[in-house]
């Protein structure tokens, strides 16, 4: 499913906590922001992927990362410096 041609299917695979580290790495590099957004909300990622996604080209990916309870504090620190005000605001929210 992580290699399906349909982004919604890949997004579903991204939310599967049973994926391998290699599958997650592939999904973290997916061309679709929908897939990357689903991934950052659902699974624990390797440091390299976290660093890349914290600077993702899509504000949607960074916003979801800022709101995800599983986002580590040091990544949230990066997101507090984001160029987008909505990402910064979410990263600063103490409830996360």
Q: How far apart are CA 6 and CA 1, in angstroms?
A: 9
Of 13, 53, 66, the C-alpha closest to 35 is: 13
CB contact burial 25-37 (16+ within 10 A = b; e otherwise): ebbbebebbbbbb
- CA separation (Å) from 77 to 2, 91, 93? 30, 7, 11
DSSP 46: -
pLDDT per residue as tens digits for the range 19-40: 999 999 999 999 999 999 999 9
Domain that holds residue 82: 7-92
Q: Render pLDDT for 49-80 as a digit per residue (tens, 0 to 9).
A: 999 999 999 999 999 999 999 999 999 999 99
> How many domains is the chain built from?
1
pTM for this model (two decimals): 0.91
Does 1 reside within a domain? no
């Amino acid at each position: 499913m992580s290699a399906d041609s349909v982004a919604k299917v890949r997004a579903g695979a991204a939310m599967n906590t049973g994926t391998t580290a290699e599958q997650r790495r592939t999904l973290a590099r997916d061309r679709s922001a929908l897939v990357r957004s689903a991934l950052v909300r659902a699974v624990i990622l390797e440091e390299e992927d976290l660093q890349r996604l914290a600077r993702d080209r899509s504000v949607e990916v960074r916003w979801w990362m800022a709101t995800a309870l599983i986002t580590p504090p040091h990544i949230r620190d990066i997101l507090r410096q984001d160029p987008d005000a909505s990402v910064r605001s979410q990263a600063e929210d103490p409830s996360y």
